[in-house]
Amino acid sequence: MTHQLRVRVCAVLAAALLAVSGGYAYGAPARDDMDLDIETAVQGVDAFWDAHWSEFFTETYVPPTVLGEYDGASADVPTCDGEPLADDNAFYCRTDEDYLAWDTDLMRSGYRYGDAFVYLVVAHEWGHAIQNRLDAELQTVDAELQADCLAGAELEGAAQDGTVVFDSGDVDEVRTALVRDADQTPWTKEGDHGSASERVDAFATGQEVGVEGCLPQEASAEGASAPVR
């Protein structure tokens, strides 16, 4: 995959997530609230992998760098593989730079409709970082669906660990958001991205089955013990 494709894929996610109109928060939360939610998501997902990585994979969990918020409209935009990060975007930089980042405006726009938005963005991008740590046989053909699945596994796992409070209503809203993503994003290309139902199913599988449910069946059957990168 080229760098351009990686960026495009994440731009699509961002655009799709922004299509969410169902709210579970009233009014516009203060900036501090959003930052706290983002930090909670980061710490919860990271703690999940730190505690559970060895249940699924060999070697040890190495967390990605969390660059966090950036202003894509500013003159000093961070770069990935030498290219400036796109405005109103969120993604995982797959090069050796190995970092996660999200545009502040993107997060704020989505957050107006509910806090689950930022949890989903963080968990989905973290899912891409996890994919990049796995051997090829543990990665699925559709990277976006696997990231959606891992997001479900991460958030449910973090909730069970008590590091993230994510009630069933939020999960339903995330599912709705994924459906609306697929409905409204022009970038969807058959074969590259899942349909709405496929995305919802992927998130639900991760939530209900956990990480092993996000791995290719053959690899899971072998115990998902193949060496990681």
**Which parts of this chain interact with Zn ion (CB under 5 A)?**
13, 147
Encoding tokens for residue 117? 């938005």
- Name the region of 130 (left: φ>0; alpha: ψ -120 to 50; beta: rest): alpha
Q: How far is the CB of 10 from Zn ion (least distance, A)?
A: 5
13 or 158: CB nearest Zn ion:
13
Q: How far is the CB of 190 from Zn ion (least distance, A)?
A: 17
100 or 147: CB nearest Zn ion:
147
Encoding tokens for residue 222? 């072998």
If you ran DSSP here, which 8-state letter would residue 25 be given? S
Q: How far is the CB of 61 from Zn ion (least distance, A)?
A: 20
69 or 142: CB nearest Zn ion:
142
Alpha-carbon gap, residue 126 to 124, rounded angstroms: 5
Per residue in 142-165, is it b (16+ CB within 10 Å) or e — as a string? bbbbbbbbbbbbbbbbbbeeebbe
Q: How far is the CB of 144 from Zn ion (least distance, A)?
A: 5
Nearest to 203 by CA among 157, 132, 145: 145
Q: How far is the CB of 166 from Zn ion (least distance, A)?
A: 20
Q: How far is the CB of 13 from Zn ion (least distance, A)?
A: 5
* CB of 134 closer than 8 Å to CB of 190: no
Report phi then psi at 102, rounded to 5.
-145, 140
Nearest to 12 by CA among 159, 183, 223: 183
120: helix, strand or coil: helix
Alpha-carbon gap, residue 16 to 179, rounded angstroms: 9
Q: How far is the CB of 199 from Zn ion (least distance, A)?
A: 11
